[in-house]
Amino acid sequence: MLYPLFRPLLFALDPEAAHDAVFAGLDAAANIGVAQLIAAKAPASPVTAMGIRFPNRVGLAAGLDKNAAHIDGLATLGFGFIECGTVTPRAQPGNPRPRMFRLPEADALINRLGFNNDGVESFLANVARARYRKAGGVLGLNIGRNFDTPNERAVDDYLACLDAVYAHASYVTINISSPNTRGLRELQEHAALDALLVALKRAQARLAQAHSKYTPIVVKIAPDLDADAIAEVARTLAARKIDGVIATNTTTDRQGVAGLPHAGEAGGLSGRPLKERATAVVLALARELDGALPIIGVGGIFSGDDAREKISAGATLVQIYTGLIYRGPGMVAEIARALADDPVRAA
């Protein structure tokens, strides 16, 4: 309820500075127990997908907590699951600043962060310190390749990260769809995708035996694929028995923000302008997959109605990111409540 009062102050700061300030406050409030007392409560409305019981259908998309450094603070907001990353094998600074831009007239963001993170070793140290996972919280860990690893060796980076995070994750997301790492989206093309998935499934079988634990693998795809490419990706995911798909990442299209300040900045666009395209991708995947694997819908979700659209299109779960920045933490419980109160459409 207080977020609208603070938002002008935060929006006066550079987006990354505001991000750091918000997390410093959230972490402090969580550590002393205040956040748990004042946060809106999300209703219990469990759903099972990928063999995992999710307390509710609303998750945090990767990108907000790249280093898994704020898990317990985020857990106070009522999410049914939290996804951290993208993490790469080696630490890397990402792209030069400025690299994140608000477009408030469109409730949108453009970022070209470029997988800035402290590396998988530091990432896992943060995961190990978090109380959330130890208490049974659903935690997705999102992995990618380093910016200087060529696509011919990308599988090595994904396998290194999978080996590292496997035992600590509820599920692992394979990010092959960020527009901010040169050439990364080429891994969505059939031959490259199929080879990557074969290697990942082989590693998953080995790790499941070693850890006596099956950790699902999810693939995150771009919204900028055409209909034929979406169908081909869906068939490949189903053929290789991938456990889930996230639709979608950010878009390079600027149709919904043309003429606005910062609209010409390079990077991925998220927020309201992405909503219709992301929902269309969910719908196309659902038709092609026909229930073969669950879909996590993300892109332009700012309300319960927006989340219902993703569920009605074929998603089982949803994730939010940009809406949280524009509307504040109260929207988590609001959306969870909307989905829990509408069991027919959310079934």
Give the SS3 label for residue 273: helix
Taking each helix axis from N to C terminus, what angle separates 330-340 and 304-313, rounded to the nearest 10 degrees? 50
CA distances from 192 to 7, 129, 181, 258 (A): 43, 36, 16, 33
CB distance 332 to 320 below 8 Å: yes
CA distances from 242 to 99, 108, 171, 319 (A): 33, 31, 11, 19
CB distance 275 to 298 below 8 Å: no
Residues carrying an active site annotation: 178
CB distance 260 to 232 below 8 Å: no
Quick check: bond before 215 cis, omega within 30?
no
Residue 25, Cβ neighbours under 10 Å: how many?
A: 14
How far apart (Å, rounded) are the C-alpha atoms in residues 339 and 282? Answer: 17
DSSP string covering 189-214: SHHHHHHHHHHHHHHHHHHHHHHT--
